[in-house]
Structure 1
Amino acid sequence: MKETVRVILADDHSSVRHGLRSLLSAAPHVRVVGEAADTQALAELLDHYHCDVIISDVAMPGIGGESNAVSLLRRVLRESPHPQVVVLTMIHHTHTLLGLLHIGVGAIVDKRDAPDSLLGAIEAVVAGTLWLSGHARRALEAADPSSQPRLGVLSPREWEIFQMYAHGMTIDRIARTLDRSSKTISTQKRSAMRKLGLTSEVELADYARQTGLI
């Protein structure tokens, strides 16, 4: 990279941001122009600072009741022109990774691969090339070739119900808590699972663990 690449970092863990900043400081052509601890702060940074690349986790506090950054990243990637997006994550759920690629994410870097892969991912997306770190690539290679991206944006209520269910609340208890019918809660829970590409309770529990919900 010959020209300076301006980067915004977004992760809700300060230790992760510090580590990323230290890693990127070794690259003379990369300059961190902003840091965000949640999706709201990331949106505000994007309103005030021009950047070439966003490096963002997706499992962090969001806007309007959401608890992930996917809907914001989707909006950013629909704009023209737009910064390139590198997702830095511990998620290895196949449908979620496929969905991120489907909305236009240019690189997925598993946090375990970051020390060896992040600079390569930045160079790749700036050059317009897709990049997958080792763990992310192996997760996708293990997928059924016929799998289709199914990532959807959950409504605030769907996400609320999904979180409550992931924390062990029954459908009936959620219904009583939210003053809704059990049928309505069950429908919204199924909708949330479908949007996340989850087809079983086992996958739901695995997804909840990967995203830090439990």
Structure 2
Amino acid sequence: MCGMDGESNSIAFLRRLSRQEKRPKVIVVTMISHSRMLAGLLQLGIDAIIDKRDSLESLFEAVSVTRNGGRFLSPSAAQAVSCLPDNAPARAGVLSRREWEVFRLYASGLLIRDIAKRFGRSSKTIATQKRSGMRKLGLETEAELVEYLRQIGLV
């Protein structure tokens, strides 16, 4: 989910929204199918999650279910969340601006050492920021990172 209001990630916005005493029902429509992130959204109190690959009927059903006080997951979102092992923590992390920028540059094809040169930092610092961002999002492998970057449209 791309950022809003100058933030690097919409999760911060959703967190603030979920803390409001009187908040609207929130339906997230996303291409992200990472089970930890979707479970993290549910932990934030999101009312419905729709995978963009599911039918338009899912959106209509989500509106109906949430209007009546229920929680809704489209078929693909439900399948992704059901794949989460019981011992795996849910993650809907908020990346720092630098972590987001490292991800963006990494997705553009730059190597860690090239990103480090661009920021005037050591490769170790940039690698740490990359790992920190991955941890916040519940991504454990390079393959998961690349898939996440693909899903959000950076690759």
Amino acid at match of 1:178: F
Once the two structures are TM-superposed, the CA of residue 171 in structure 1 deviates from its matched residue by: 1.1
Q: Does 1:182 align with 2:123?
A: yes
Once the two structures are TM-superposed, the CA of residue 64 in structure 1 deviates from its matched residue by: 2.9
Aligned residues: 155
Q: Does 1:169 align with 2:110?
A: yes
Q: Residue 157 of structure 1 aligns to a residue in which SS? A: helix
Once the two structures are TM-superposed, the CA of residue 149 in structure 1 deviates from its matched residue by: 1.1
**1:41 counterpart residue number:** none
Once the two structures are TM-superposed, the CA of residue 178 in structure 1 deviates from its matched residue by: 0.7
Work out whether residues 166 and 204 of structure 1, in 8 Å CA contact, stay in contact via their aligned partners in 2.
Answer: no
Q: How does 1:70-109 map to 2 (within 5 A)?
A: 70-109=11-50
**2:6 counterpart residue number:** 64
Alpha-carbon RMSD: 1.4
Once the two structures are TM-superposed, the CA of residue 65 in structure 1 deviates from its matched residue by: 4.9
Distance in 2 between residues matched to 1:150 and 1:139, nearest whole Å:
13
Distance in 1 between residues matched to 2:137 and 2:98, nearest whole Å:
15
Amino acid at match of 2:143: V
Select 2:99's aligned residue among 135, 141, 158: 158
Name which structure has the greater RCO, CA cutoff 8 Å, separation 6+. Answer: 2
User: Which string of whole-angstrom CA distances, capped at 9 and with x for unpartnered residues, describes residues 43-76 of structure 1?
Assistant: xxxxxxxxxxxxxxxx23433351x322111111
Q: How does 1:1-214 map to 2 (within 5 A)?
A: 59-66=1-8, 68-214=9-155
Work out whether residues 95 and 133 of structure 2, in 8 Å CA contact, stay in contact via their aligned partners in 1.
Answer: yes
Larger Rg: 1
Give structure 2 stretches of 5+ with no counterpart: none
Once the two structures are TM-superposed, the CA of residue 122 in structure 1 deviates from its matched residue by: 1.2
TM-score by length of 2: 0.93
- More strand by proportion, 1 or 2? 1
Work out whether residues 49 and 73 of structure 2, in 8 Å CA contact, stay in contact via their aligned partners in 1.
Answer: yes
* Identical amino acids, percent of aligned pairs: 47
Amino acid at match of 1:63: D
User: Which string of whole-angstrom CA distances, capped at 9 and with x for unpartnered residues, describes residues 18-63 of structure 1?
Assistant: xxxxxxxxxxxxxxxxxxxxxxxxxxxxxxxxxxxxxxxxx23433
Once the two structures are TM-superposed, the CA of residue 204 in structure 1 deviates from its matched residue by: 0.4
Give structure 1 stretches of 5+ with no counterpart: 1-58
Once the two structures are TM-superposed, the CA of residue 114 in structure 1 deviates from its matched residue by: 4.1
Amino acid at match of 2:20: E
